[in-house]
Amino acid sequence: MSDLDGILRAVLKRHLSDAEVYVKRGRSRRLERTPVTETASTSQERAWAVRAGNRRASFFAAATGDPTPGGPWPEPVPGHSLELPEPAPLPAWSTPSDFDTPLIGEREGLKLLESLGRELEAELPKARLLRAVLEDGSSEAELANSRGLRATTRGRISTLYLEAAGPGRPAVSASLYVAAREPRRFHPTALARRLADRLAVSAAGAAPERDGGEILLAPNVASRVLAGLLPLLVGPGPGSRLTGARGRFGGDRVTLIDNGRFPGGAFEAPVDGEGVPTREVVLVEEGLFRQPLLAWWQEGAAHGEASGCARRPGWRDLPAPGPTHLYLKPEPRTPVATLLGAVSQGYYLIDATGPGRFDLATDRFALPVCGFAVQSGRASAPVAKAWLCGGIGTFLKGIVGVGRDLTFQPLDGMIGSPTLLVTGLELRAVAGS
């Protein structure tokens, strides 16, 4: 690694009070299969970023290669202040053993993609994978700032993107994107089944004009709704907007947590992108709003304690507050079958089929979904091209059942939820208020 102190000294000579150097090394393998092409690539990255400034002016410079004390550094621009965090005691941390696993091999990776195609066809004859991309990478980063903070982190993440077409013409399509710490956690049969379900309901389903009832949201749907609520949960701004007179944000089954150290999580790390220790933060506890997610420099701007939540996906990015593993706490004793059995008349929504619309000012949301109509706990008809619509407050207060199947999705950070049973929402053919 580079002489970070030498670089800090050189930058601080420019009449600046704060400076930070971040150096990152990474390697990745990318495997892609389409019906006509197969691509295997490897990348090695090495790059750095420097932030420096004072209460009046600052700059940010980032480049590939190794940083040198001579820069060249841009001129700090007035009107853009910069302050950096102080060192803080680091709670005990041991690097997870799977950080050391080598990247997936070319043959192994291509076999995984090939098996996904086979499994999909087994689940739904004549369905085909249009595109499958597996990326597997690991990295190490080192950070030093002029206030004496020093940190090193490691990362290990794999992502899988799948795009598939169903049988018939015109064929319906479906895609999914998942992330895990290493590729062996991707289960071809489960993923193929999820795609096949999506394709099957999309081909045969229709949307009700307008209907309500009890609605069971699979983790993929519930996570998308939670991701839409992030502006309420991150930063000192509007977090309390949805709280009632007694601080109630949601039903008493709603406990929302963010944890940068979530065991086995894709972004599990002892410190955040500025070197501040990560920890578990309870944002909503049994429906009561406790605090928003606050970075160190936001402490005091809202009730609550700050945590290491400045994300830094890569050397090109400036650190910005956001969730790492934000999730709705599961209920370990409630299997999904119990929740489904409790639905007398309603819907089981298995997937979100596109981005949602969230209007926090008017407290409304609409999310495109697919799934099944349910009667007496059993699927009665496929549902597709439907919109899950309702009030955001209604969603949070209408959660009457929480499953145990916590699943994370790579959205804005890893956002996780178990299956949720919700009342008060509607399913519509057209998104609307």
CB of 415 to other proteins, least distance (A): 20
Site residues (vs other proteins, CB under 8 A): 30, 32, 34-47, 51, 53, 57-65, 72-82, 130-131, 133, 165, 170-173, 316, 318, 430, 432
Q: 283 or 306: whose CB is closer to other proteins? A: 306
- Our measurement of the distance from residue 38's CA atom to the centroid of its chain's CA atoms, rounded to an integer in Å, reads 28
Q: Which residue has the tokens 């193929």?
A: 192
CB of 129 to other proteins, least distance (A): 11
Indicate the DSSP class of residue 121. Answer: H
Q: 202 or 255: whose CB is closer to other proteins? A: 202
CB of 71 to other proteins, least distance (A): 8
- DSSP labels, 139-193: EEEEEEETTS-EEEEEEEEEEEEEEEE-SSSSPPEEEEEEEESSGGG--HHHHHH
Q: CA-based Rg of the chain, rounded to a whole angstrom? A: 23
CB of 333 to other proteins, least distance (A): 41
Q: 48 or 348: whose CB is closer to other proteins? A: 48
CB of 188 to other proteins, least distance (A): 21
What φ, ψ does residue 345 adopt, rounded to 5°?
-150, 120
Q: How far apart are CA 127 and CA 117, in angstroms?
A: 9
CB of 167 to other proteins, least distance (A): 12
What φ, ψ does residue 175 adopt, rounded to 5°?
-140, 155
What φ, ψ does residue 308 adopt, rounded to 5°?
-75, 95
Q: How far apart are CA 23 and CA 17, in angstroms?
A: 20
CB of 28 to other proteins, least distance (A): 8
What φ, ψ does residue 90 adopt, rounded to 5°?
-100, 115
Q: How far apart are CA 241 and CA 94, in angstroms?
A: 38
Q: 34 or 240: whose CB is closer to other proteins? A: 34
Q: 90 or 203: whose CB is closer to other proteins? A: 203
Closest CA to 288 of 256, 322, 259: 256
Measured between its terminal Cα atoms, the distance across the chain in Å is 55
Q: How far apart are CA 352 and CA 367, in angstroms?
A: 7
Q: 345 or 362: whose CB is closer to other proteins? A: 362
- Both tokens of residue 287? 């429906």
Q: 130 or 381: whose CB is closer to other proteins? A: 130
Q: 90 or 431: whose CB is closer to other proteins? A: 431
CB of 410 to other proteins, least distance (A): 13
CB of 60 to other proteins, least distance (A): 3
Q: How far apart are CA 264 and CA 19, in angstroms?
A: 33
Q: How far apart are CA 326 and CA 224, in angstroms?
A: 12
Q: 314 or 377: whose CB is closer to other proteins? A: 314
416, 327 in Cβ contact below 8 A?
yes
Indicate the DSSP class of residue 373. Answer: E
